[in-house]
Structure 1
């Protein structure tokens, strides 16, 4: 697992890169504010219910949550399942909103 900052992620999104961004928060958190990531709550990852990303084992996955703790756990779980390129968004959505407000 590596780390990525909100600034790095935002500049890559703005550059139009095709990214695999996974939000591991709960659906109500996602509904309140999200940056357009694919929602896969941490509980699904822990239960190994990851069919929708199974074919991305060798691709870069950028994982985020509210503060960075759940996403770190998700990265570690995914690594044990054979994912080779996980990145944890440092500070999560709290850092994103602090830096950029509610903007995507």
Structure 2
């Protein structure tokens, strides 16, 4: 796992052809908007969260965020334990995000 600032996360994400964005916030938080193309997997769903992660392609690079960076850091550590090689935590979470945010469909 690597903690990245908003700037590092954005730059790396823009160049990464194997990038997948994961939002680990709650449904209520996601209702306020989501980073475009992010997959929503609520970390508070326990085993369902683990099951959803295990369905993901471990050869991809995962850019993970939450509200403030704490839960996404936990999610990245869980991903590492599950065998993911590249998980990047957005320091400061969506509170520090300066890019686009869209409503979830």
Runs of 5+ consecutive residues of structure 2 not aligned to the other structure? none
Q: Structure 1 residue 103 and structure 2 residue 104: aligned? A: no
Partner SS for 2:68: coil
Residue equivalent to 1:28? 28
Residue equivalent to 1:62? 63
Matches within 5 A, 1:1-104: 1-11=1-11, 19-36=19-36, 37-44=38-45, 46-47=46-47, 48-50=50-52, 54-96=55-97, 100=98, 103-104=100-101
Runs of 5+ consecutive residues of structure 1 not aligned to the other structure? none
Over 3 Å counting, the alpha-carbon distance change for 1:16 and 1:61 in structure 2 is: closer
Over 3 Å counting, the alpha-carbon distance change for 1:13 and 1:75 in structure 2 is: closer
Count of residue pairs the alignment pairs up: 98
Aligned counterparts of 1:13 and 1:57: Cα–Cα separation in 2:
17
Over 3 Å counting, the alpha-carbon distance change for 1:7 and 1:50 in structure 2 is: same
Query: RMSD between aligned alpha carbons?
Result: 2.3
Over 3 Å counting, the alpha-carbon distance change for 1:80 and 1:87 in structure 2 is: same
1:16 is displaced (CA, Å) by 8.6
